[in-house]
Amino acid sequence: MKKTNLTADARYTIGAISPNLFGSFIEHLGRAVYEGIYEPGHPTADEAGFRGDVIELIKELGVPMVRYPGGNFVSGYNWRDGVGPKENRPTRLELAWFSTETNEFGTDEFMKWCKKAEIAPMMAVNMGTGTVQSAAELVEYCNHAGGTTISEMRRANGADEPYNVRYWCLGNEMDGLWQIGHLNAEDYGKKAFEAAKLMRWTNGEMGAENGVRAADPLRLVVCGSCNREMETFPEWDRIVLEHTYDMVDYLSMHRYYMYDKTSPRPLEDFLASADDMHGFIKTMRATIEYVRAKLRSPKQVGLSFDEWNIWTINAPRHEPIWKQAPHLLEDVYTFRDAIVFAGLMNTLLNNCDIVKIGCLAQLVNVIAPIMTEKGGGTCRQTSFYPFKYIASARGDAIRIFSDSDTFDSKHGKAHTINAALTYDKETRSAKLSVCNYGEEACELALELNGFGELTPETYIEMTGELDACNTFSDPNAVAPHRRDLPEMDGNRTSLVLPPMSWSFVTFKE
């Protein structure tokens, strides 16, 4: 059997895991909102129409923060359409996804839903057709206590207290030609700066343009490249950051991976996704560093990886245009997808010193870990499980030294054994997530130094047919199973990783 050595020392941390690293995303797209989180009349829905079965699964996943309302949708969205008495809300042609938007669900419903689901909201403002004024006014609507027309509008709409939304995206994928109101880097950089300035001023950050912040400042995310293949990458990021560096807190990045049968080496190219994601983060990190040095700024901008997932982008559209809540992007995830997905999560952990926000795109029905049937039940997709377990990591990510084999892919050399290790000093517990992308089983020899006397506590594993998936008729076809706990020999232990598998082990002192 192949052997891989993996060594770690509790003293050598990568960084603290941000509580927002494993957030998610709900867009007005397909059935994410309508028939997803919101379905009045559903047997589990409350008086507001929020599906209780979906909230339960979201809590099981442990999602801390959800980005809303888009995505591409936000770039044509007028937030005023979605507030006030429902009977007065306009029905619009929605140009990002060629659907009909009834606006039955809007900002107030989202805030109410977040409260119920115990999730923090992350709002996006419209930088496509929207103005810097409409962006600032949405901040006023959400966060200003009262006494102005816009804040009183919120109070009249049922929310006496401000929502106090902290995280805001300055638009979405503004580098993409497909974006409603796409801009070039210069124009977006200037607009994002002005929007950020007005949003901060609205938040009472007087002098924001000179770096002055309120006691509880807004955390602003400026649009970075929406993928590594964009012709404008990474110049887009440099230019946008040069315009906005001192005004923002995070640079966004998006990336979707797919199993592409037309790829030169379909399986290897897909399995290398985690390494490719690492390379993307490395360039974004370097671009931030470059701008920081150029501007002589002491400030450290972080990364907000606010869309990532596996997405079979070439799936055809089966629904007619202008339908309300069409079945769109309802990818069914395979076991193959699940192990690549786990590797992507490992990469986020291994870069958690700079990646402070992450949003799995998306959460329900649209490229999602949770699927729903109208009037019916729910289904956990294969990706549900790695998310649920890996997102439970707290404390610090620990640097790993490994002599893993590599394989060739279109992304370059990739690691056969892909792992992340975390350690929480508070609870004295460590968690190891490890994928074996090899076609052979592998003995993983673990040496864990400086953690005290660790004892394995739980050990789960996912293995199976690469094409297997969960469906409403067979919802548990792919799920983790428990394994016997490995024996410790001092600070060493070993695991046998089946070929094409993901394993998750927790240890406690």
**DSSP-based helix, strand, coil % in the chain, nearest 5:** 25, 30, 45
Q: Residue 192: CB partners within 8 Å, gap ≥ 6?
A: 127, 170, 171, 174, 222, 223, 240, 243, 244, 247, 248
Nearest-CB residue to ligand AHR?
Answer: 71
Q: Is 205 in the site for ligand AHR (CB under 6 A)?
A: no
Stretch of 35-43, 67-75, 260-268, 415-423 lying at the interface with ligand AHR (CB under 6 A): 67-75
Choose which of 71, 326, 358, 369 interacts with ligand AHR (CB under 6 A).
71
CB 116 within 8 A of CB 109: no
Shortest distance (Å) from residue 203 CB to ligand AHR: 25
Shortest distance (Å) from residue 34 CB to ligand AHR: 16
Give me 295's structure tokens.
């501007």
Q: Closer CB to ligand AHR, residue 307 or residue 461?
A: 307
Q: Is 369 in the site for ligand AHR (CB under 6 A)?
A: no
307 is catalytic: yes
Q: Is 94 in the site for ligand AHR (CB under 6 A)?
A: no
Q: Is 172 in the site for ligand AHR (CB under 6 A)?
A: yes
Out of 27, 39, 307, 461, the active site residue is 307
Shortest distance (Å) from residue 82 CB to ligand AHR: 17
Q: Is 362 in the site for ligand AHR (CB under 6 A)?
A: yes
Q: Is 461 in the site for ligand AHR (CB under 6 A)?
A: no
Evaluated on CA atoms 132, 178, 334, 356, the torsion sign reads: negative
Shortest distance (Å) from residue 360 CB to ligand AHR: 10
Out of 173, 194, 205, 461, the active site residue is 173
Count of CB atoms within 10 A of residue 85's CB?
8
Number of H helices, E strands in the chain: 10, 23
Shortest distance (Å) from residue 72 CB to ligand AHR: 4
Sort residue 34 into left (φ over 0), alpha (ψ -120 to 50) or beta: beta
Q: Is 173 in the site for ligand AHR (CB under 6 A)?
A: yes
Shortest distance (Å) from residue 235 CB to ligand AHR: 20
Q: Closer CB to ligand AHR, residue 360 or residue 379?
A: 360
Distance CA 289, CA 286 (A): 5
290-309: contacts with ligand AHR (CB under 6 A) = 307
Stretch of 68-76, 406-414, 415-423, 500-508 lying at the interface with ligand AHR (CB under 6 A): 68-76
465 is catalytic: no
- Kindly list the distances between the CA atom of residue 348 and the CA atoms of 70, 153, 274, 359, 435, in Å, as whole numbers in the listed order: 22, 40, 9, 11, 14
Shortest distance (Å) from residue 226 CB to ligand AHR: 6
Angle between the N-to-C axes of helices 235-244 and 185-202, in degrees from 0 to 180, rounded to the nearest 10: 30
Shortest distance (Å) from residue 329 CB to ligand AHR: 7
Stretch of 64-72, 124-132, 195-203, 458-466 lying at the interface with ligand AHR (CB under 6 A): 64-72
Give me 487's structure tokens.
């024996």
Q: Closer CB to ligand AHR, residue 208 or residue 310?
A: 310
Give me 307's structure tokens.
């869309």
DSSP one-letter string for 395-415: SEEEEEEE---EEEETTEEEE
Q: Is 23 in the site for ligand AHR (CB under 6 A)?
A: no
CB 310 within 8 A of CB 301: no
Q: Is 72 in the site for ligand AHR (CB under 6 A)?
A: yes
Choose which of 70, 76, 82, 369 interacts with ligand AHR (CB under 6 A).
70
Q: Closer CB to ligand AHR, residue 333 or residue 451?
A: 333
Choose which of 27, 39, 94, 140 interacts with ligand AHR (CB under 6 A).
27
Q: Residue 245: CB partners within 8 Å, gap ≥ 6?
A: 291, 292, 295, 297, 299, 301
Distance CA 414, CA 408 (A): 6
Stretch of 65-73, 87-95, 211-219, 401-409 lying at the interface with ligand AHR (CB under 6 A): 65-73
Shortest distance (Å) from residue 359 CB to ligand AHR: 9
Choose which of 361, 391, 430, 434 interacts with ligand AHR (CB under 6 A).
361
DSSP one-letter string for 36-100: TTB-TT-TTB-TT-BBHHHHHHHHHHT--EEEES-SGGGGG--GGGGSS-GGGPPPEEETTTTEE
Angle between the N-to-C axes of helices 335-350 and 273-294, in degrees from 0 to 180, rounded to the nearest 10: 30
Q: Which residues of 160-190 are buried (b: 16+ CB within 10 A; e: fewer)?
A: eebbebbbbbbbbbbbbeebbebbebeebbe
Site size toward ligand AHR (CB under 6 A) is: 9
The SS3 of residue 115 is helix
Q: Is 36 in the site for ligand AHR (CB under 6 A)?
A: no
Residues labelled as active-site residues? 173, 307
Q: Give the interface with ligand AHR as residue ranges (CB under 6 A).
A: 27, 70-72, 172-173, 307, 361-362
